[in-house]
Structure 1
Amino acid sequence: MKSRVRLHITRLPLLTWLGLPLLVLYLSVNYFLGESRNPDWVRADLPGNGTLPAEAAIPTPPPLQTTPVPWDRRGIVTIWFDDAWQTQYTISLPIMESFGFRGALAVPTLAINNENYMSWAQVRRMQFKGWEIASHTRNHICESAKFDEKTVDYELNGSYEDLRRQGIRADFFVSPCGIELPGIREIAKQHYLGLRTVEPGFTDLPPKDVYFINGFTLTNESTVGDIRTLLSETKASLKWLNIIFHSIDESGSKYSVTPDTFSAMLEEVRNSGLPVLVPSEVLSRIFK
């Protein structure tokens, strides 16, 4: 009996050493699986991948949580990211956070969960971090000829409902490629506080028309000097500067900006001393 007890005791450390790697492996797998799931803060009533069944009642997401502050008669900057590219989450978001900035994300809803685009969990996480999510239609159709009355309804009302089904409140609409069509502004007025275009220019404060917000689209030819000039004009004119980014990467494509250039541009924004706000915050301050 004593010999068997001694044998059991001598084998215990060996079993422990064999078990530790298995325990570490188990915890690691669960950690990475957990990272791929929807974050803890996602609405508990969204089953599966977070999409409500078609027959379910559409929830009404709460308004963006902001602290109303009266406008101090300075120019204002809003930083936009159109199309929900994956690099906007993996690259832009961390850089923006390093500067203490929050931005606005324009989402074409049927692009989500596709290659090179964000997932719904990532879009919701950005909203949770204080970013504003805007509707950008369903399919991002840029050809005016493809829009008839039925398509306008499908793209605008449909994207609005898609976002609501994901528990996302969208108070702004962004027209794809800045197209202007009969019916778009009317539908936008039914659901949204404002509409942003890609028409170059500054927006007056208060805006003359909240359903025609101007913006400057940056390309692979845009420079830090261009941003510096825009910021100087914003300061002098006391207007609203909307800066529009697309992909942040090294691809060299027309609407891409490299991470280094992006960081340098944000440095200029910070050095300007101008407030950086999301669109709903701008309107809440101006019309308070």
Structure 2
Amino acid sequence: MTIRFYVQDITLLSKLEIRFSSVDGMTTHLGWSLSRWKMSRGWNEVMVPIKSLTANGAESIDNTMVSIQVSVTGTGGAIVFDSIYVNRPSKAAVIFRFDDGWTTQYTKAFPILKSYGYVGTVGVISNYVGTTGYATLAQLLELQSFGWEIFNHTANHPDLTTVDPGLIRSEIDGCRQWMNQNGFRSASDIVAYPYGSFNQDVLDAMQGYKLGLSTQAELELAPPVSPLTLKTLTINNDTENSVYEAAVNQAVETGSTLIILLHRIEDSGTDEMIYHADKFAAMVDFLAGKSIEVSTFSEWLL
């Protein structure tokens, strides 16, 4: 089930709840709720596995639903509903998103994905390319030659919400210019916001760009309803396997897209951004056993 709605002011909301009932008066119902932390300002499109609906009383998904009740908890504001779809046709997909362009994305992640015939995407910080710890231009070009996609992660990686509006455009345009000059045109207009931070000034500066990538956790559908605030599942050093397994299973069940964000793929280390290579290999092997495509952003939009 897919629910599409518009949020004008996320700061005023606490929770959204929807109930489905097969009887008058809602004496029994199936319920679902979403906290504000999984919503974003503007249009939202949320995929809800039918089995995740919680039964109240003797209600069952096998019954014919005759009424829907929606409630919004908060201090004000409003949510505008566009539609609720059931059995909407779509194909499950995963996009591996590697931010910053670390060397180990080439030396560790690339061979693992290549062994399964999978590809990934890399967000480059143009002024960091070839510096200590970061992939070289030659390595990025090799990734691209194997079907990987290189996207825009700004020129210097500042928190775009803390700089002057004019500098926001300079950062994303500067990286795009470097990418276009070095043969990475296909995704130079796809931008990952440093630290996942964005505000209205950032969104205004992004006009004319194709996609903007946040770090807010949720699934997506193609074409995305809010292309400048795509949601992502972030994988850190201490992320349990069950987290991505549940997200992959939900993507398969709902025909949605899971964007998985990783940074440094290394054999060891406790830094939050490091994900161990053996754990990454286990993640890829888990995906291989599922009915799900591994895609790039541009392929996903086709």
**Common topology (TM > 0.5):** yes
2:41 is matched with which residue?
Answer: none
1:168 is matched with which residue?
Answer: 184
SS in 1 for 2:295: coil
CA distance in 1, matches of 2:161, 2:206: 17
1:133–1:168 Cα contact (<8 Å) kept: yes
2:161–2:201 Cα contact (<8 Å) kept: no
1:156–1:184 Cα contact (<8 Å) kept: no
CA distance in 1, matches of 2:253, 2:300: 18
The AA in structure 1 aligned to 2:221 is D
Structure 2 alignment gaps of length 5 or more: 1-87
Q: Percent identity?
A: 25
2:113 is matched with which residue?
Answer: 96
CA distance in 1, matches of 2:184, 2:133: 21
1:203 is matched with which residue?
Answer: 220
CA distance in 2, matches of 1:217, 1:177: 11
Q: Check if 1:177 corresponds to 2:195.
A: yes
1:251 is matched with which residue?
Answer: 269
Query: How much does 1:189 deviate?
Result: 3.2
Q: Check if 1:279 corresponds to 2:297.
A: yes
CA distance in 2, matches of 1:121, 1:206: 32
Higher helix share: 1
Cα root mean square deviation, aligned: 1.7
The change in CA–CA distance for 1:144 and 1:252 in structure 2 (over 3 A counts) is same
The AA in structure 1 aligned to 2:172 is L
Query: How much does 1:80 deviate?
Result: 0.7
Q: Check if 1:82 corresponds to 2:102.
A: no
1:236 is matched with which residue?
Answer: 253
1:270 is matched with which residue?
Answer: 288
Query: How much does 1:275 deviate?
Result: 0.7
136-145 vs 261-270, greater mean Cα deviation: 136-145
CA distance in 2, matches of 1:270, 1:248: 19
CA distance in 2, matches of 1:273, 1:139: 38
1:157–1:187 Cα contact (<8 Å) kept: no
CA distance in 2, matches of 1:193, 1:280: 10
Higher RCO, Cα 8 Å, sep 6+:
1
CA distance in 1, matches of 2:285, 2:95: 14
CA distance in 1, matches of 2:252, 2:111: 27
Q: Check if 1:125 corresponds to 2:112.
A: no
Instruction: Say which one has the larger Rg.
Output: 1
Q: Deviations over 1:4-54 (max 9, x none)?
A: xxxxxxxxxxxxxxxxxxxxxxxxxxxxxxxxxxxxxxxxxxxxxxxxxxx
Q: Check if 1:152 corresponds to 2:168.
A: yes
1:213 is matched with which residue?
Answer: 230
The AA in structure 1 aligned to 2:108 is I
Query: How much does 1:73 deviate?
Result: 2.2
The AA in structure 1 aligned to 2:269 is S
Higher strand share: 2
72-81 vs 232-241, greater mean Cα deviation: 72-81
1:260 is matched with which residue?
Answer: 278
The AA in structure 2 aligned to 1:182 is Q
Aligned residue pairs, count: 212
Q: Deviations over 1:182-214 (max 9, x none)?
A: 343334332x32111111111133311111110
TM-score using structure 2 length: 0.67
Q: Deviations over 1:206-238 (max 9, x none)?
A: 311111110011001112222211111111222
Q: Runs (4+) of structure 1 moved beyond 6 Å?
A: none
CA distance in 2, matches of 1:94, 1:160: 27
